[in-house]
Amino acid sequence: MKVLVLGADGYLGWPTCMYLSARGHEIVGIDNYFRRNVLKELDSEPLAPVPDLHQRASLWEEHSGKKIHVHIDDITDYDFLLGVFRDFVPDAVVHYAEQPSAPYSMLNHDAAAFTVRNNLIGTLNITYAVREVNPACHIVKLGTMGEYGTPNIDIEEGWLEIEHKGRKDKFLFPRQASSLYHTTKIQDTDLLWFYVRTWGLRVTDLMQGPVYGVSTDESAADPRLVPIFNYDEIFGTVVNRFVVQAVAGYPLTVYGKGGQTRGYLNLRDTLQCVGLALESPSGKGELRVFNQVTETFSVNDLAERVQRVGRELGHNVEIREIENPRVEKEDHYYNPAYTGLLDLGLEPHYMTDDVVRELIQFVEGYKDRINRDAIFRGVKWR
Ligand code: USQ
């Protein structure tokens, strides 16, 4: 398959490029270096040094003999995106090219406006380019479990059948996000659903929870192939942050009561899920939704696990409840369904102590690069 990966430089984008390339797909990757640029502005470098995308593509070719073509440009520029579509004529597009950080979207007006513009215009441009060049192209969009929020009912896999005054219909499961970033992902879903109904596009929406981990089969060849790994407050996700905090001797930053429960998954499983979705595309005029998580934990569960494994490895790991900078429920019901990807063949890599130990050991190798000032700055939701 010819697969266009948007957001190819990111934490998920680069490992996805390698994973799909290793499986024989032809890959073109695009990235505008948004994350790299913001990290420099915020003085929050990734934990391990990351060669630029051209250099990583060359390294990958040296190790695998396979080419990944890359463009450093912006998909919100429609002429640019359309040009790539016309040259490459993709069979599928994997859409990671969103401003992915909830705290970034809550920083100030400029960051909020950037998030709305980038995420919505980017998604709109993809739909137009697909219709123009290859309407059969399968769009695999990374959504987020955060679109559903934390309702006091079970979360279904994308859809909900409602009976009202004796009549029934099926709707997208109700959405109520708790950051502007997550809200733009709801709006993306709505955009795509509209064009699925109107133009008959094929779309898979992968409602993903927070991802953790760093190693993949493909990055084992060379440490310079590991994904961009952030532990700062803006781009780091909670498990990766806790592991770095454990190694740095920085008390684990549990926000509020720590009862916030989410569905998590290992980076290796993100790759499997995207691969499975690509290999069995949704039908014409179908919006298919999968909840892309493998297990649920509260923040307290995660902190306790990282503390236990960190202490076994000789680290001084304390847990500190700090005033929650976000507006979110800290004690709530959470019961999402997530069987669709298992039915397609997903074989989960669960979060065992060994997995956490391996991640801590990776971080230990870069201990000298940890910038303690980047760990917590307290971006407040209000
Ligand atoms: N949290 C802490 N301490 C920290 C960091 C986070 O207690 O130091 C808590 C947060 O308050 C939240 C939970 O951990 O309740 C998860 O936070 P996170 O920063 O790992 O995840 P989030 O901001 O929700 O966003 C991340 C990705 C985003 C993706 C989302 C999936 O950055 O791109 O869409 O995970 S989900 O959370 O299911 O919406």
Inter-axis angle of helices 238-248 and 353-364, nearest 10: 60
Number of H helices, E strands in the chain: 12, 14
Rounded distance between C-alpha atoms, residue 25 and residue 92, angstroms: 10
pLDDT of residue 160: 98
pLDDT of residue 306: 98
pLDDT of residue 151: 98
Ligand 1 center to 9 CA (angstroms): 20
Ligand 1 center to 238 CA (angstroms): 6
* Mutation probe of ligand 1 site: the residue of 38, 105, 119, 144 with most atoms within 8 A of C-beta: 144
pLDDT of residue 95: 98
For 31-73, the pLDDT digits (tens) are 999 999 999 999 999 999 999 999 999 999 999 999 999 999 9
**pLDDT confidence bin for 138, thresholds 50/70/90:** very high
End-to-end alpha-carbon separation of the chain, Å?
46
For 289-321, the pLDDT digits (tens) are 999 999 999 999 999 999 999 999 999 999 999
Collapse the DSSP code of 199 into the 3-class scheme (helix H, G, I; strand E, B; otherwise coil) and give the result: helix
pLDDT of residue 16: 98
Rounded distance between C-alpha atoms, residue 262 and residue 272, angstroms: 20
For 149-178, the pLDDT digits (tens) are 999 999 999 999 999 999 999 999 999 999
Atom 34, ligand 1: residue with shortest CA distance: 144
Rounded distance between C-alpha atoms, residue 118 and residue 112, angstroms: 10
| 144 catalytically annotated | yes
CB 157 within 8 A of CB 208: no
For 181-211, the pLDDT digits (tens) are 999 999 999 999 999 999 999 999 999 999 9
pTM for this predicted structure: 0.98
pLDDT of residue 91: 98
Backbone angles phi, psi at 330, to 5 degrees: -105, 0
Ligand 1 center to 261 CA (angstroms): 10
**pLDDT confidence bin for 358, thresholds 50/70/90:** very high
**pLDDT confidence bin for 19, thresholds 50/70/90:** very high
Mean pLDDT of the chain: 98
Tokens 């290793």 found at: 22
Atom 5, ligand 1: residue with shortest CA distance: 238
* Mutation probe of ligand 1 site: the residue of 262, 265, 307 with most atoms within 8 A of C-beta: 262
CB 338 within 8 A of CB 155: no
For 77-87, the pLDDT digits (tens) are 999 999 999 99
| 181 catalytically annotated | yes
